[in-house]
């Protein structure tokens, strides 16, 4: 069961996926752009080509007029899909970092998110492999960095690495403006969570 802060974080990720997703009443199936590799349709970033079973389940709820249940299912899916981030951080004491990384994880996957964490750690004086696999060494370095305090400064490093990642993507000319906009919105929301 998600608490209110977790629901708020998951709802922001859904909003970043689809800026029309303001709550249960706004949920609907949308056609993806032809250049999108996620499939043909999505519900708040939950795509038929990537998560066909989840997409079908939520669509069935919408088709049955159960929008509240569909919204709850979307929130829970976002939270469950990004739970690895919580294990990387190891505690709930860094909500700003957790949110920012969960958003990137949902948008770009585990390895890409792992790489931005590792690059930010390297940029902050730690020595870790930049391979996208957040194993024991990366987790220890992240725990050491977070124990030092200064979440706002580390959040800024993560933002810079996220932007650099987006700029390196071959689809940046098509989607880059939206990606950078999303990263900034996620950063701005994450700053409201700095402990």
Q: Which string of DSSP letters, residue by residue, matches 15-49? A: HHH-TT--SGGG---EEPPTT-TT-SEEETTEETT
Bridge partners for 46 per DSSP: 43
Q: Which string of DSSP letters, residue by residue, matches 145-192? A: HHHT--HHHHHHHHHHHHHHHHHHSTTHHHHHHHHHHHHHHHHHHHHT
Distance CA 20, CA 41 (A): 15
Give 195's Cβ-side CA count (13 Å radius).
14
The DSSP secondary-structure symbol of 82 reads T
pLDDT at 136 over 90: yes
pLDDT score recorded for residue 162 = 98
Nearest to 7 by CA among 86, 61, 103, 78: 78
**Structural contact between residues 50 and 57, judged by C-beta atoms closer than 8 angstroms:** no
pLDDT at 35 over 90: no
pLDDT score recorded for residue 181 = 96
CA dihedral sign of residues 145, 151, 152, 155? positive
pLDDT at 55 over 90: yes
Mean per-residue pLDDT, 51-72:
96
Query: What pLDDT digit, counting tens, does each position of 66-122 carry?
Result: 999 999 999 999 999 999 999 999 888 999 999 999 999 999 999 999 999 999 999
Distance CA 167, CA 182 (A): 13
pLDDT score recorded for residue 185 = 96
Model confidence band, residue 194 (pLDDT cutoffs 50, 70, 90): confident
Distance CA 176, CA 195 (A): 30
pTM for the model stands at 0.91
pLDDT at 11 over 80: yes
pLDDT score recorded for residue 17 = 87
């Amino acid at each position: 069961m998600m608490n209110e802060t977790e629901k708020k974080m998951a709802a922001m990720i859904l909003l970043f996926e689809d800026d029309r997703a303001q709550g249960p009443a706004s949920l609907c199936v949308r056609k993806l752009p032809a250049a999108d590799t996620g499939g043909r349709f999505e519900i708040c970033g939950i795509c038929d080509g990537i998560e066909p079973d989840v997409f079908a389940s939520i669509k069935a709820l919408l088709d049955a007029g159960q929008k509240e249940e569909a919204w709850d299912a979307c929130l829970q899916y976002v939270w469950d899909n990004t739970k690895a981030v919580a294990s990387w951080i190891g505690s709930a004491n860094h909500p700003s970092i957790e949110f920012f990384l969960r958003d990137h994880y949902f948008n770009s996957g585990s390895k890409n998110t792992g790489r931005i964490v590792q690059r930010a750690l390297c940029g902050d004086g730690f020595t870790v492999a930049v391979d996208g696999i957040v194993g024991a060494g990366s987790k220890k370095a992240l725990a050491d960095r977070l124990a030092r305090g200064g979440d706002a400064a580390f959040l800024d490093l993560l933002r810079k690495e996220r932007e650099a990642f987006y700029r390196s993507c071959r689809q940046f000319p098509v989607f880059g403006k939206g990606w950078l906009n999303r990263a900034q919105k996620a950063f701005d929301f994450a700053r409201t969570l700095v402990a």
